[in-house]
Amino acid sequence: MSQALLQALVSGLAVGGAYALVALGFSITFTTTKTLNFSHGEFVSAGAFIGMSVLFLVLGKPLTSTSFGSDIPGGTGQLLALVGALGVMGLLGWLLYTLGVRPFAGRPGMAWVMSTLGFGVILQSLGLAIWGPKPVVVPGPAGDEVIRLAGIGMRPQEILMLGVAVVIMVVFDRVMRSTMLGKAMRAVAHNPANASLMGINVNALMIGAFVFSSALAGLSGFLLAPIAQASLFMGLAVGLKGFSGAMIGGLNNPRGCVIGGFALGVLESMVNLWQAQWRDVAIFALVILVLAFRPTGLFGGKLVEKV
């Protein structure tokens, strides 16, 4: 039984890495612009399909292909696919902020909520028109053979997902706490007007927040595709659970969001050992319970509004 629990823990941490990346993306846009990208899940799916499309082009297949067959892309192709996914998703993040958030941010009402939701619907509709609804099996860069250690099995892609997620969290935390860019981002998050008076380019940092957040969503989708298959509907669950992880950890605390994402991944995997049909019930019951007692999340700071 202990071996099964350890297997669930390891697998949960791997999936939790994807949730943590998404949760971190939500935190970055919220702390910097006080807005959220409610199409974040669709950005995850888009990242998976953009990376997949680059792999098809590298192999000489049509962009609209839906099967790799026996063709396996090499390391160079995987690297190009990663760069393509990050670049295109970053560009989409810039477009989303410029067209769907900035015109409405700071105004009365919640128009930016509908604009981000609409952006996601457009992305999904374009994807369905190009590739259709069929999931695609995407080959991983390190193969699909299970690696076993002390009776615990993990696929190379799961190890890659966990490793990349941890590295990004550590690097981002170091940037936020030890660099001028991080200090500028924290200043903008605290008070954009005062930050602007201090010579900080607030608009550039807000654009950068959406670009980086969208790139993280694309990275999450790119890394998840070989594990769960690329599907235009895969991002809905990942985005929702990533947002739940951010709410549990605290939207205004990047570290807390990361912890919340990993915690949900482990919880989901543990419940699977018991009865898989209860995993979503357990996750959202936990979210409701935490928010009932800690509305700002376990690690979130209190939001004080001066009048």
Average pLDDT of the residues in 277-298: 88
Which domain range does residue 220 map to? Answer: 2-237
Please report which confidence band the pLDDT of residue 304 belongs to, taking 50, 70 and 90 as the band edges. Answer: very low
Specify if 123 maps to a domain. Answer: yes
Can you tell me the mean pLDDT for 273-296?
A: 87
Residue 67 lies in a domain: yes
In a domain, 301, yes or no: no
Where residue 20 falls among pLDDT bands split at 50, 70, 90? very high
In angstroms, rounded to a whole number, what is the distance separating the alpha carbons of residues 112 and 99? 10
Residue 254 lies in a domain: no
**Per the structure, how many domains does the chain have?**
1
Residue 31 lies in a domain: yes
Q: 72-86, 106-120, 122-136: lowest mean pLDDT where? A: 106-120
Q: Is residue 108 one of the residues assigned to a domain?
A: yes
55-57-60-61 Cα dihedral, nearest 10 degrees: 80
pTM for this structure?
0.90
Tell me if 246 is assigned to some domain.
no
83 inside domain: yes
* DSSP code for 144: S
Taking each helix axis as running N to C, give the angle between helix 279-293 and helix 254-274, from 0 to 180 degrees, rounded to the nearest 10.
140
Distance (Å, whole) CA 48 – CA 137:
11
* Three-point CA angle 243, 268, 48, nearest 5°: 55
pLDDT at 75: 81
